[in-house]
Amino acid sequence: MTCQNCARHATEALNAVPGVERVRLQLEPGSAEVFWATDQESDISKLEKALEDVGFQCAQIAPAKFHRDTRSGKSRFSGWGLNLFLGGPVLILMMFGEWGMELGTSSNYRTFSFLFASLILFVAGSRFYRGAWQQLKKGRSNMDTLVSIGASSAYLFSIWGWISGKMVHLYFMETVGILTLISLGHWMEAKVSAKASSTLKSLMQLAPQRARRQEANGAFEEIDVSELYQGDLMEIRPGDQIPADGNIVEGKSSVDESMLTGESMPVEKSAGKKVYGATQNGQGRLLVRVVGLGEDTALARIIQVVEHAQNSRANIQRIGDKVSSVFVPVVVMLALITLFGWFVWPSGMQHISELIQPLLWSAHATESVLAAAVLHSVAVLIVACPCAMGLATPAAIMAGTNAAAARGILIRDGEALEKSGTITCLAFDKTGTLTQGKPEVAAFESFNESVDFDHVKKMTASLSAKSNHPLSRAIASMEWAEGGADIDWNDWTEHSGLGVQASRSSDDESAQDDLVRLGSLNWLRGQGVALGASDAFQKRWMEQGATVVGFSVNQNLMALLALKDLIKPKAFKVLERLRSKGWAIHMVTGDHKRTASAIASELGIEDSHIHAEVKPEQKATIIRDLQDRGERVAFIGDGINDAPALEQADLGIAVSRASDIAREASDMVLLKAGIDAIPEALNLAKSTLRTIKQNLFWAFFYNAAAIPLAMFGFMSPLLCAAAMGFSDVLVIGNSLRLRWLKK
């Protein structure tokens, strides 16, 4: 493989093999890791045939040797580095001798030029010749074909001129220059591409190689991560990287998860919470039970998504592919037209060149008609290499998806990038997306001044502690719940969907036990509790979409609590920013219209854009209705019931804590804790799409302008070789700007 285009063709060939799940290919070492689907048996012969069919030779590498060879890095004097090491000094010497000391007609200099041009042609040029030959055997042609023909033409023409004595100037320097400058372009391309994919490489290298496992005797032994099994207990010391995904069994600490989510603030962790491999433990000691290893870890799944995106094809890429598929034969034809044009009709070609010259610069001078014909046709072959066109889309997708991954945004494929550029409205699921996804106590008001308010709070928390109802859990988790455990209850009972009740000894020893209830107002009213004084509180909070529950002792109302699913802290600002970009905002929820309207009012969402009392299976219908009105819809959700809507939408975005099904149905996954990543994700996707279009434009413009200039002598073969290499670097460099896109 000689360039990113070759790598892309090889990757596509391997991905097309039935049973292959994904491919991880590295250009410079010329190696690929192929991952088979779990229900498929590996068949190396299929992979070898697929690569041979597209013109590549291959051999299987033993796994241990693969990791040693491809990850240790190569010497700077191998591959394109070797070409530069050999060709660079030779080219400088030849340029100095020919241009500086004017030795071009010297017999000794000609011999020197021939020997060194031969060395460079057969050593540095061998990589191009092998690539061209492999493609030719399959009836194909590529960039190597053009470079091989061009360099060989200049070399053979110089030998003929030297032997025949019919040429004053020989073109051995041009031969060396073509191969060296194109190698320089590929070397720079490889370096810049490595930067573009550095995020993915850094993710791969994050996971530690060692772990401390608890043995049967309770002692901890340091082992290789490959020796861990699900269910093992790991000790995570302060400052350690976590070797694998797991659940905390013991301990409390804060964990830096920024490499997964992009969030800068550490996350507090305690027993029962999940931790992820390659994240950084803080100051606490943790005992963790392993639940995910290797390809089953969160980090591995992120890497898979990024790799899939980088290997995906955007529809816009088909333009470049169609042009590239016919480009080499067309260029060879144009080179032949140039050759015969200057040889058969030199006066006409010269006349056209002279007409253009006042608008540009002086044309490249040649000593004969034959020299003009050969040199200008070689220039056409060299300058028209279609690498930039083939790189335009994959380079931008690589840079864009890596930049997104570094910010906790996973983009599934190139099509997701294209979809983002056509979105006209955003539809949000409410619960867990715009709101916290769980009820919290928004207000607590006492209706009996004779009883200590703090004691009433503790009683409500204690009474609700045994219940698993979401409202009970919200009350029991409040900070004032401490001390409630000291209260003894008798005959604790839960009435499903209504509330809880229990009895406790009365403060008056001569009286019967107090009957204490916590639950819905309708239930309390039915039990004879007087609620008249609570009307104002009920009205105020129910209008805001809250659920109001009461706490009573015997028949006396003691307190009212308003519980609501609170809006996420940054939700209003996020929606304001999205509206300012011209997107319409819709909200889809299964909640009552009153609750939905209260939430929408706080978020500034228009009444006509509220879709309330929507059943899970109807969410996709709402999206379809919007699409039928001509809207291009992005749906943002997080639950299993959001999967159909995510699938139906033009662009599906799954937010943090999204279920696996929701993630699979989405085009983007936001790993950050809040929805504040949505504007950034859409902006990055649109910027990547814009970069693809820029790359395609400049690649087409470059060839459209450069070929006529070469045909009429305005670009020498040396200049063409430099321009060809620079065009690749320009495309990748433009893509690389996405890494530094302002957050």
Whether the pLDDT of residue 204 is over 70: the answer is no
HSE-CB for 479 with a 13 A CA cutoff: 0
Bigger pLDDT: 113 or 700?
A: 113
Q: How many CB atoms lie within 10 A of CB 695?
A: 24
Instruction: Name the residue among 233, 308, 316, 339 with its Cα closest to residue 21.
Output: 308
Q: Quick one: pLDDT band at residue 70, thresholds 50, 70, 90?
A: very low
> 653, exposed or middle or buried, with CB in 10 Å at 0-12, 13-18, 19+?
buried
Q: Quick one: pLDDT band at residue 325, thresholds 50, 70, 90?
A: low
H helices of 96-171, in order, are 107-123, 126-137, 143-164
Report how far residue 24's alpha carbon sits from residue 429's, in angstroms, rounded to the nearest whole number: 36
pLDDT tens-digit readout, 401-431: 888 877 878 887 777 877 887 889 999 988 7
Report how far residue 536's alpha carbon sits from residue 518's, in angstroms, rounded to the nearest whole number: 19
Report how far residue 740's alpha carbon sits from residue 743's, in angstroms, rounded to the nearest whole number: 8
- Mean pLDDT is lowest, of 26-30, 224-228, 608-612, for 26-30
Q: What is the CA radius of gyration of the chain?
A: 35
Instruction: Work out the average pLDDT over 646-672.
Output: 73
% of the chain beyond a pLDDT of 70: 84
Whether the pLDDT of residue 372 is over 80: the answer is yes
Taking the alpha carbons at both ends of the chain, their separation in whole angstroms is: 36
Bigger pLDDT: 596 or 205?
A: 596
Question: What integer pLDDT is reported at residue 470 of this predicted model?
Answer: 77
Q: What angle do CA 683, 202, 251 make, to 5 degrees?
A: 100
Instruction: Name the residue among 151, 146, 130, 127 with its Cα closest to residue 55.
Output: 130
Whether the pLDDT of residue 118 is over 90: the answer is yes
CB distance 636 to 426 below 8 Å: yes
Q: How many CB atoms lie within 10 A of CB 270?
A: 12
Report the run of H or E that residue 553 belongs to, with start and end: strand 547-553
Report how far residue 273's alpha carbon sits from residue 291's, in angstroms, rounded to the nearest whole number: 12
Question: What integer pLDDT is reported at residue 77 of this predicted model?
Answer: 47
Q: Which residues have C-beta within 8 Å of that of residue 421, sequence separation ≥ 6?
A: 685, 686, 689, 690
Instruction: Work out the average pLDDT over 54-82.
Output: 64
Question: What integer pLDDT is reported at residue 431 of this predicted model?
Answer: 77
564-573 burial, b at 16+ Cβ within 10 Å, e below that, comes to bbbebeebee
Instruction: Name the residue among 137, 59, 147 with its Cα closest to residue 720.
Output: 147
Q: How many CB atoms lie within 10 A of CB 531?
A: 17
315 Rama sector, left if φ>0, alpha if ψ -120 to 50, beta otherwise:
alpha
Q: Quick one: pLDDT band at residue 459, thresholds 50, 70, 90?
A: confident
Question: What integer pLDDT is reported at residue 425 of this predicted model?
Answer: 93
Report how far residue 523's alpha carbon sits from residue 6's, in angstroms, rounded to the nearest whole number: 72
Query: What does the block give as tokens for 115?
Result: 């020997």
Question: What integer pLDDT is reported at residue 248 of this predicted model?
Answer: 92
Q: Identity (one letter) of the amino acid at 638? A: D
Question: What integer pLDDT is reported at residue 71 of this predicted model?
Answer: 47
Instruction: Work out the average pLDDT over 254-274.
Output: 75
pLDDT tens-digit readout, 3-39: 666 777 788 889 889 988 888 777 667 788 888 887 7
Report how far residue 521's alpha carbon sits from residue 398's, in angstroms, rounded to the nearest whole number: 57
Report how far residue 644's alpha carbon sits from residue 362's, in angstroms, rounded to the nearest whole number: 64
Distance of CA 61 to the CA centre of its chain: 29
Q: How many CB atoms lie within 10 A of CB 264?
A: 7
What single string gives the DSSP state of each residue in 215-284?
A: -TTS-EEEEEGGG--TT-EEEE-TTPBP-SEEEEEEE-EEEE-HHHH---S-EEE-TT-EE-TT-EE-SS
Report the run of H or E that residue 500 belongs to, with start and end: strand 499-504
- Mean pLDDT for all residues in the chain: 80
Query: What does the block give as tokens for 540?
Result: 């105020």
19 Rama sector, left if φ>0, alpha if ψ -120 to 50, beta otherwise:
left
For residue 254, the SS3 value is strand
Report how far residue 455's alpha carbon sits from residue 433's, in angstroms, rounded to the nearest whole number: 35
Bigger pLDDT: 60 or 640?
A: 60
Q: Which of 114-128, 260-274, 588-602 ranks highest by mean pLDDT?
A: 114-128
Bigger pLDDT: 617 or 203?
A: 617
Q: Quick one: pLDDT band at residue 68, thresholds 50, 70, 90?
A: very low
What global pTM score does this model have? 0.66
Q: Quick one: pLDDT band at residue 169, thresholds 50, 70, 90?
A: confident
Report how far residue 251's alpha carbon sits from residue 289's, in angstroms, rounded to the nearest whole number: 12
Whether the pLDDT of residue 575 is over 90: the answer is yes
Whether the pLDDT of residue 486 is over 70: the answer is no
pLDDT tens-digit readout, 157-166: 888 888 887 7
Instruction: Name the residue among 609, 608, 612 with its Cα closest to residue 595.
Output: 612
For residue 743, the SS3 value is coil
Question: What integer pLDDT is reported at residue 72 of this predicted model?
Answer: 45
Q: Which residues have C-beta within 8 Å of that of residue 618, sequence separation ≥ 6?
A: none
Query: What does the block give as tokens for 253?
Result: 């600490």
Report how far residue 732's alpha carbon sits from residue 186's, in angstroms, rounded to the nearest whole number: 11
Q: Identity (one letter) of the amino acid at 298? A: A
Query: What does the block give as tokens for 621?
Result: 């219908």
Instruction: Work out the average pLDDT over 240-246.
Output: 89
Whether the pLDDT of residue 496 is over 80: the answer is no
Bigger pLDDT: 310 or 490?
A: 490
Give me the count of residues in the chain.
743
Strands 651-654 and 668-670, by their bridges, are parallel
H helices of 16-79, in order, are 44-53, 63-71
- Secondary structure of 598-644 in HEC code, one letter for each residue: HHHHHHCCCHHHEECCCCHHHHHHHHHHHHHCCCCEEEEECCHHHHH
Q: Identity (one letter) of the amino acid at 693? A: K
Location of structure tokens 């931790």? 275
Active site residues: 429
HSE-CB for 64 with a 13 A CA cutoff: 0
E strand intervals along 655-733: 668-670
Strands 280-281 and 253-256, by their bridges, are antiparallel
Instruction: Work out the average pLDDT over 150-160.
Output: 85
CB distance 519 to 549 below 8 Å: yes
Q: Quick one: pLDDT band at residue 532, thresholds 50, 70, 90?
A: confident
Question: What integer pLDDT is reported at residue 426 of this predicted model?
Answer: 94
What single string gives the DSSP state of each residue in 513-552?
A: PEEEEEEEHHHHHHTT---GGGHHHHHHHHTTT-EEEEEE
274-306 burial, b at 16+ Cβ within 10 Å, e below that, comes to ebbbbbbbbebebbbebbbbeeebbbbbbbbbb
Phi, psi for 379 (deg, rounded to 5): -60, -40
Strands of 233-236's sheet, edge to edge?
A: 220-224, 210-214, 233-236, 286-292, 245-251, 274-275
